[in-house]
Structure 1
């Protein structure tokens, strides 16, 4: 699977992506808001093995994609979509912090919305972030998602319970935004 946006290529991960993925996945600043990490080398290799294994699903329901700059082929992060019944999906993204605040997460996430609604026929796509992850919340709002609520203490990782903010967008909202000329 390969998708292109104005500045990005979203493509399947390969074993050769290990070093680029490990650069951001082992960074404590990048992973401070994630439920995983900072990764050890073994963690990153296991992630890539899992992402490559997803490529063999039939029917495919999990899409973990490398995000690469068109201009130079540099792998700058990852973005994913998990679909499940009834016609629901969840997106996520993680980027090397040297590429934060350039609109890449919004661009990649917008493409995942397009893929989910226009190709997979999903009805609802949601995403979550930790309440203090203001950058991720801004991405979700920018791509047209609506804040649904604050989930308290619903996740246990890194030795403690964590809260999350949940955002979503429905298919009719997505297509209404496209009709109005929004780039979502």
Structure 2
């Protein structure tokens, strides 16, 4: 099993993956205020695309609970969650994660992401996605990364296609989003696809 956190540690490692305009790193307790502010400011923008927010979603207690869960998920090689920061200001602009990591004969995980309303359509999400794929295929050694988005979410489809994902199918009532079971378009990218894309861009 890949272990980026030794047993006994209570938080993810001080890992940071840098791009030209954004960087991603695991959340820390000091990020709560920025995270809560951008999530609250973007609530109406995000709610249609996300699972239902609990009443205490943005509280510091809930954030710290989230961090403890994320640390356990990192230790168990199950989920790798990051916040996305703007390089220039070092402000939280969104988040990205790799969930449901499967080893054995699968060697795959599922990517999801969000971006605050003020930072949408700046290319930040696609850059964060490239950083996540570099981490997934590099440090984690995965073979395949999957993603899914609502058919009406053209911005998300655009991000996935821009960074090299291939549309693979359509899943009915795939995930419960905004308190309703919703169909999703399924995407995936293989490590060989990613390597070929790096060669073409290089």
Return the TM-score normalized by structure 1.
0.88
For residue 93 of structure 2, give the secondary structure of its aligned residue in structure 1. Answer: strand
Q: Secondary structure at the match of 2:46?
A: helix
Alignment of structure 1 residues 3-152 onto 2, 5 Å: 3-26=17-40, 27-37=43-53, 40=55, 42-45=56-59, 46-56=62-72, 57-82=74-99, 83-85=101-103, 86-152=106-172
Offset at residue 54 of structure 1 (A)? 2.1
- Cα deviation for residue 35 of structure 1 reads 2.1
Q: Give secondary structure in 1 for the equivalent of 2:33.
A: helix
Give the secondary structure class of the aligned counterpart of 2:49.
coil
| Matches of 1:47 and 1:92, distance apart in 2 | 18
Distance 1:174 1:91 in 2: 14
TM-score of the superposition, structure 2-length normalised? 0.81
Number of the residue aligned with 1:168: 188
**Contact 2:49–2:178 (Cα < 8 Å) also in 1:** no
C-alpha distance in 2, partners of 1:124/1:16?
33
RMSD after superposition: 1.9
How far 1:47 moved relative to its partner?
4.8
Structure 2: segments with no counterpart, 5+ residues: 1-14
Runs of 4+ in 1 over 4 A off after TM superposition: none
Question: Which is bigger in relative contact order (C-alpha 8 A, separation at least 6)?
Answer: 2
Distance 2:139 2:179 in 1: 39
- Which structure 1 residue ranges, 5 or more long, are not aligned? none
Equivalent residues, number: 180
Residue 163 of structure 1 aligns to a residue whose secondary structure is strand
Residues 13 and 52 in structure 1, CA contact (< 8 A), matched pair in contact too: no
Distance in structure 1 (CA, Å) of the matches to 2:153 and 2:64? 25
